[in-house]
Amino acid sequence: MEVEDLNCFPQHLTMKLILDGRAKKVSHKGNLASLLKKLGVRREEVVVKVNGRLAPDTAEPEEKDTIEVITVIFGG
């Protein structure tokens, strides 16, 4: 296998995740929709901010971004 081939594998990026106020580090490569899926969060029930700004779930976060996931749909 040539060295360049290794670059074909997706490289995971490290980001800060704040899920309903609880912060942790995550490794992810892909868009926000796939991150939510990985976290087991339903896309329809949350709003996502990247570095404090509202972001569509099609956006691809970058290394060291802060991703805030806020649940906005629940009972009551």
Partner 1 sequence: MMRCSKCGEESIIFLHYVRKHLCARHFIGMFEKRFRSTVREFGMLKKGDRVALGLSGGKDSTVLLHCLHDLQKDLPFELVAITIDEGIAGYRAATRKIAEKEADRLGIEHHVVSFKKDLGKTLDIILKTDQSRACSYCGVLRRGLLNRKARELGADKLAIGHNLDDIAQTVLMNIIRGEPSRSRRLLEPLITNEAFIPRIRPLLRTPEKEVAIFAMARDIKIDHRECPYAESALRQDVRRHLNELEEVHPGTKFKILSSFLKMENQSRNSKTQDAELETCFSCGEPCSGKRCKFCEMTSCI
Which residues contribute to the site for partner 1 (CB under 8 A)? 20, 42-47, 53-59, 70-76
Tell me the residue ranges of DSSP E strands in 1-76: 13-19, 22-28, 46-50, 53-54, 66-71
The span from the CA of 43 to the CA of 47, in Å, is 8
